[in-house]
Structure 1
Amino acid sequence: MTITRYLLLLFSVFATAQSQIELISTDSTAIKADQIIAIDNFETIYYTSNSIIYKQPLEKPAINYSNVQLGIPTMVNTFNPLKVIVFYQDFNTVIILDNRFAEIFKIDFNSIQPYKNVTHVSSGYDNTIWIFNQDLQQLQLYDYKTEKIRATTIPVQSNVLDLKSDYNYCWMLTEKYLYQYTYFGSLISKTENKGYTDIAISDENLILKGETSLYYKLENSDNIIKLKTPKLLIKQFLLTNETLYIYDSIKLHKYQLKIK
């Protein structure tokens, strides 16, 4: 081993040992919801109750959306608040809403050729969305205006658990690995899944959920740090900048992340 490689390895071990993240409790709010979808920088809360999607701005009236024909949404993505993505897996259909929750586009994969059996959806750039094609076991960047695939990844060999994205990257969590792709579909990292089931992203930093704990993965780092969370049920978790939200089915708890 060269001296340079040894020093790099030593620095990596030292950084891992020294990295600690403190959770500072700042607030908790009682809320009744089936699922907390997102909380933006202005503390607007997106959530679902039964088959209805709500957008609740701070100190303003809420607006809502529901689709009687499609029923309960499987996934709602609000990364781009001007194009809210609502996925109904049972009907293989995506509805795109504007910021007032008016329908602006409908994607029925049952009627698009070639047929796509979609299990996971996330936001993309421009007029695209990331979709996981179950039949091909591939992650695809789909242009819903032209009905064409802009990018395709190499097929994976295990079940997909979660899918998250921003304009630059897409993270796909499978039973075996956590993959990170560029918006061209190129693989840039592959991390072994050590029991993680869900992910949350913000500014390319990740929170991963294990069986009973949460873990933090810094941007451009392979280090995954276990968070010392309070003893409460983690029904859901969200990351907005350096703020972690944990929903325990009764209250929404807010924590500030302090990296030491």
Structure 2
Amino acid sequence: MKKLVPFLLLLIATIAMAQDAVIPVKLLNSSKAGPERYLGADSYGWQYTVLDNEIRKEKDGRVLKFRALSLGDIYRADLQNPLQVVLFYRKFNTVVLLDNQMNETSRINFSDIPQPVIAEAVGLASQNRLWVYDITTQQVGLYDLAKGSFRTLASPFNDGIRYYQNDYNYFYWVDNANNWYAVNLFGKVNSLGKLPEFDQVQIVSPGSVIYSKDGIMYHFDPVTGTRTIVTIVEKSFRSFYYAGEILSIFTHSEIIHYKITLLK
């Protein structure tokens, strides 16, 4: 009987998986990788990785690098504008902006601004501004790079932030109960649904999410509550990144790129 129980559990999991629809993928290419942390790619095809607190930008054998020794670990990098890459050093409450040659153009310590904040999340917004989530007040706001000023936009987030992502017009976050929200540049907050339990996640659009759980990758529609298995071969990977119908999988030894068309 004891031997039968694990078999039954495996059978149930297999049947449940079989009931999910699947999204086929097409292998494009792969390349060897080392111990770097993969960040993603920009709109020009440059690949970004981090190794020993140094960010690297690579394409066609050319490598550009940047390192701020005094700031330690790079917590997050915003790559949506290759001409203004945003590096967030959470431990030092600091952001560094880089140009397309990986030269530092600006450095902001949020402890030193006129209205100091303790940043937990930072990303690039429109009109030369940064999204900033202040953990002290639990509020998100905008930091104006030209004026050097910060203003809050919305009421405090009562359930914290488990995951965040942004574009020029919206700051998205998933709270500790997996509820998903978005706030726009004018402070209007919208509820976008609840996400399944995940190990890693990336927001594709307000109605589309890719996530992984226990080595399986899914596409999730929060409006209908349906999930679809993404049929990658890898069962063990460190991270993934989706952009422009290209899904990049970063394993311990390779970067694999797939062509994928997400279900509407």
**Deviation sequence 1:48-101 (CA, Å, 0-9, x none):** 1111100102x1411100011112211111111111001111110001111111
- Displacement, 1:248? 1.4
Q: Is the 8 A contact 1:38 1:47 kept in 2?
A: yes
- Displacement, 1:254? 1.4
**Deviation sequence 1:86-122 (CA, Å, 0-9, x none):** 1111110001111111111111011123221111111
CA 1:149–1:224 in structure 2 vs 1: closer, same or farther (change >3 Å)?
Answer: farther
Q: Distance in 1 between matches of 2:29 and 2:237?
A: 16
Q: Distance in 1 between matches of 2:39 and 2:153?
A: 27
Q: Distance in 2 between matches of 1:259 and 1:87?
A: 30
CA 1:110–1:48 in structure 2 vs 1: closer, same or farther (change >3 Å)?
Answer: same
Moved more, 172-181 or 184-193: 184-193
Q: Is the 8 A contact 1:170 1:182 kept in 2?
A: yes
Q: 1:242 aligned to 2:245?
A: yes
Identify the match of residue 258 of structure 2 among 251, 255, 258. 255
1:141 equivalent in structure 2: 142
Q: Distance in 1 between matches of 2:233 and 2:45?
A: 22
Q: Is the 8 A contact 1:87 1:94 kept in 2?
A: yes
Q: Percent identity?
A: 21
Q: Where does structure 1 lack aligned partners over 5 or more consecutive residues?
A: 1-16
Moved more, 97-106 or 39-48: 39-48
- Displacement, 1:224? 4.6
Q: Distance in 1 between matches of 2:180 and 2:213?
A: 13
1:131 equivalent in structure 2: 132
Q: Is the 8 A contact 2:180 2:193 kept in 1?
A: yes
> What is the letter of the counterpart of residue 210 of structure 2?
I
1:118 equivalent in structure 2: 119
Coordinate RMSD, CA, aligned = 2.4
> What is the letter of the counterpart of residue 134 of structure 2?
N
> What is the letter of the counterpart of residue 161 of structure 1?
R
Q: Is the 8 A contact 1:141 1:185 kept in 2?
A: no
**Deviation sequence 1:220-254 (CA, Å, 0-9, x none):** 95545232343422311101111111111211121
Give me the TM-score of the superposition, normalised by structure 1.
0.83
- Displacement, 1:32? 1.6
**Deviation sequence 1:195-242 (CA, Å, 0-9, x none):** 135432456653233343333246x95545232343422311101111
Q: Distance in 1 between matches of 2:248 and 2:20?
A: 25
Q: Distance in 2 between matches of 1:18 and 1:224?
A: 9
> What is the letter of the counterpart of residue 52 of structure 2?
N
Q: Distance in 1 between matches of 2:20 and 2:251?
A: 30
Q: Distance in 1 between matches of 2:132 and 2:214?
A: 26
Q: 1:98 aligned to 2:103?
A: no
Q: Is the 8 A contact 1:179 1:190 kept in 2?
A: yes
**Deviation sequence 1:180-206 (CA, Å, 0-9, x none):** 222323123332232135432456653
2:170 equivalent in structure 1: 169
Give me the TM-score of the superposition, normalised by structure 2.
0.82
Q: Distance in 2 between matches of 1:94 and 1:53?
A: 14
2:6 equivalent in structure 1: none
Q: 1:35 aligned to 2:37?
A: yes
Q: 1:215 aligned to 2:224?
A: no
- Displacement, 1:137? 1.1
